[in-house]
Amino acid sequence: MGNACLITEIQRFAINDGPGFRTNVFLKGCPLKCAWCHNPETIDAKAQIYWKKRLCVQCGACMEACPTEAIQPPIDPVLAQSEGVDYYKIDLARCNHSMQCAAVCPYGALEITGKLLTVKEILDEVESDLPFYKNSGGGMTLSGGEPTAHPDFAEKLLAGAKARGLHTCLDTNGYCSWEVLEKLLAYTDIVLFDLKHTDPEKHKQWTGVDNALIMKNLARLTQTGVEIWVRIPVVPGFNDSIEDHKAAVEFLNGLPGKIRRVDLLPYHNWCQDKYGWLGLDWPLGRVEAMEPSLLEIPKEFYEMSGLKTTIGGSGFEEAN
């Protein structure tokens, strides 16, 4: 699948994922399972189906089309849409991802998330906003999911973008072999590198993986000369204490090379509909979004140590 990949979204006019106006390309598939993930549809590498209950009239067309009898029988639409009702249209254990239910849904209540696109198809769409990139210093940001989970495709897409004169950012969690990451650097102007936690046990508890490889890759990355923006998603109960921030500052200042800036990204729960559409429970959806102002004091710790820092990661904000 080196010439095509499942894409969940091509998001235009993004302003928090690198400098200027950017087009974000979200690849499907990620080796981490972060408890706070804001793009749950990008974790599974396979195409999935959203069921949007507000659009569903319980007509039964999907039930007739499903080859594995994975569709629940229709119930009253008002009841199905009621809060607290334990009803999800698809029996996920029986679903074989034939997508026939989505194909016959006349109301758009069943929607496929994950479209197979080629490098050319993606770049043609990305390049359509070239004037905005030139005026703002923007370009394309390769995100996900995790781009390094698709190394051949990611390399071809980044190389194709550079061939068209586009500025490129690679948004990565760093959980990959160094050989994969190093290959992508040849076509990357800025690496947006996620640092989630410095404690290996807590990192594994909340993401499913240890952080040793991630921290080792970041250290090696700082020795390559590539521009690095370290992005820290600040999540209540996970890494929002002053001690957590102090540990991050100590680690970043101990790196063998330099980073350009630190972006503190306050937790939000605006993606909770996505979990519902996928039939997934999301405990953190009940946690209130974090006020950005709460990060002003932690921001001072980073700045006092010499690290240029923003809250929110705006590409139009020059870090102090």
On the question of a cis peptide bond just before residue 20, with omega within 30 degrees of 0, the verdict is no
pLDDT of residue 319: 53
Count of residues making up the chain: 320
pLDDT in tens, 66-78: 999 999 999 999 9
Of the candidates 232, 225, 226, the one whose C-alpha atom is nearest the C-alpha of residue 251 is: 232
Predicted pLDDT at 83: 87
Give the C-alpha distances (Å, rounded to integers) separating 245 from 123, 136, 185.
38, 32, 28
What letter does residue 43 receive in the DSSP assignment?
T
**Is the pLDDT score of 259 beyond 80?**
yes
Q: Would you place residue 231 in the very low, low, confident or very high pLDDT band (cuts 50, 70, 90)? A: very high
Mean model confidence pLDDT for the chain: 96
Could you read off the pLDDT of 102-131 as tens digits, one per residue?
999 999 999 999 999 999 999 999 999 999
Residue 162 and residue 187 in contact, taking contact as beta carbons nearer than 8 Å: yes
CA torsion 287-16-40-88 (nearest 10°) is: 70
Q: What is the pLDDT of residue 150?
A: 98
CA distance 91 to 79: 18
Task: State pTM to two decimals.
Answer: 0.96
The answer to whether 197 and 235 are in contact (CB under 8 A) is no
The domains of the chain, with CATH numbers, are 4-45+119-311 (3.20.20.70), 48-113 (3.30.70.3270)
pLDDT at 218: 98
